[in-house]
């Protein structure tokens, strides 16, 4: 009996030691800067909204965040880098519905499985796509755009990459309107906006922060919001349904993520810090200005959103013959 007793005792103290070690680790976290991998370019919608949020978290907690922008392949490269990072809480990331859901439909061999290799921290914002056109086009309503793209095949629309929410929003629009357009992916958001303004790629299905400056300056016209409600930042712009395109809703969501096996205590602390920041009236006002709706919830929300988006977009992707190459 003695050997069994000794084994039980050793196991008990091992579990106790592990528990207190994990608790101590969480209490001391973070004791150095936290790197945040952003899989899109600096100044992009995901970058801007995330900085608003984490600036407030930093002010509240003293945590220093260092941004590491890695734009390529519609967000897949940066998201894959996050998956391969050490799960110690000192490398986290932000990603979106593209790299975390849509691109898994487009390419099952992404090099990572978002549903198995990523730990959600918090889904913190949803941004509906906005249908915009260059002011070089004599188009002022969604109805006029619908007629124009039906009569003129291969009108270009820009996005931040194949499989991005902007790409899928454009493809969905083509299917509903019955038009054939030309998708033009960009690695750098600023380059896409430059071509949009110049009329070289005269349409887009953009996230509002990417084009807010050009809308305000009059270089780009917002025709409709792909949501069931108008954006507070542009209250005079109708929803797609109000403009005559029923059923057209498309949005990107942003999530703070960590590598799988990041300690639960750290994930819970970051989730609490993010939700506290999202409750701040200043942050909520800034989100509203950027066309973003704040989302407060547990880490598990990410798994639910990934599953629902995969279900929604699979049929649209198959119907449009969409791939990561086109």
Q: pLDDT tens digit string along 141-183?
A: 999 999 999 999 999 999 988 878 899 999 999 999 999 999 9
The answer on 256 and 109 residing in a single domain is yes
30-48 pLDDT tens trace: 999 999 999 988 988 899 9
Residue 230 lies in a domain: no
**Which has the closest alpha carbon to 74: 95, 56, 90, 93?**
95
Residue 202 lies in a domain: yes
The answer on 285 and 198 residing in a single domain is no
pTM over cut 0.85: no
The answer on 41 and 27 residing in a single domain is yes
The total of structural domains in the chain comes to 2
What six digits make up the tokens of 175? 């299917």
The answer on 105 and 213 residing in a single domain is no
The answer on 215 and 162 residing in a single domain is yes
The answer on 16 and 122 residing in a single domain is yes
Neighbours of 194 (CB within 10 A): 15
The 8-class DSSP code of residue 286 comes to H
The answer on 117 and 144 residing in a single domain is no
Sign of the alpha-carbon dihedral angle for 75, 157, 184, 167: positive
At 217, which CATH number? 3.40.190.10
Inter-residue contact 279 to 39 (CB < 8 Å) = no
Euclidean distance between CA atoms 156 and 181, whole angstroms: 6
Structural domain containing residue 285: 10-126+252-320
191-245 pLDDT tens trace: 999 999 999 999 999 988 889 999 999 999 999 999 999 998 999 999 999 999 9
Contacts of 187 (CB under 8 A, 6+ apart): 41, 71, 72, 160, 161
At 16, which CATH number? 3.40.190.150
Residue 34 lies in a domain: yes
Residue 236 lies in a domain: no
In order, the DSSP letters of 59-99 are: HHH---EEEEE---GGGHHHHHHHHHS-SSSSEEEEEEHII
The answer on 256 and 121 residing in a single domain is yes
Query: What's the N-to-C CA distance of the chain in angstroms?
Result: 68
């Amino acid at each position: 009996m003695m050997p069994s007793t000794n084994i039980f005792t050793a196991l008990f103290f091992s579990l106790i030691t592990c528990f207190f070690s994990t608790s101590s680790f969480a209490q001391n976290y973070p004791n150095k800067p936290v790197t945040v991998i952003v899989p899109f370019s600096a100044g992009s919608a995901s970058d801007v909204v995330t900085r608003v949020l984490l600036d407030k978290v930093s002010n509240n907690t003293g945590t220093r965040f260092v941004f590491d922008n890695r734009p390529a392949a519609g967000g897949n490269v940066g998201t894959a880098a996050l998956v391969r990072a050490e799960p110690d809480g000192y490398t986290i990331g932000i990603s979106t519905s593209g790299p975390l859901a849509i691109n898994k439909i487009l390419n099952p061999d992404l090099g990572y499985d978002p549903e198995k290799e990523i730990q959600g921290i918090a889904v913190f914002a949803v941004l509906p796509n906005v249908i915009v056109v260059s002011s070089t086009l004599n188009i002022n309503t969604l109805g006029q755009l619908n007629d124009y793209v039906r009569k003129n095949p291969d009108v270009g629309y820009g996005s931040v990459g194949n499989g991005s929410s902007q790409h899928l929003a454009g493809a969905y629009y083509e299917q509903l309107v019955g038009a054939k357009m030309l998708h033009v992916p960009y690695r750098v958001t600023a380059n896409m906006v430059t071509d949009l303004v110049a009329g070289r790629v005269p349409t887009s299905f953009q996230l509002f922060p990417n084009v807010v400056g050009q809308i305000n300056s009059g270089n780009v016209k917002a025709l409709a919001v792909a949501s069931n409600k108008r954006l507070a930042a542009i209250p005079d712009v109708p929803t797609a349904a109000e403009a005559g395109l029923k059923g057209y809703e498309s949005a990107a969501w942003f999530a703070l993520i960590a590598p799988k096996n990041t300690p639960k205590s750290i994930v819970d602390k970051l989730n609490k810090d993010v939700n506290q920041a999202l409750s701040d009236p200043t942050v909520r006002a800034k989100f509203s200005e950027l066309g973003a709706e704040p989302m407060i919830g547990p880490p598990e929300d990410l798994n639910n959103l990934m599953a629902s988006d995969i279900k929604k977009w699979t049929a649209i992707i198959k119907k449009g013959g969409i791939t990561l190459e086109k």
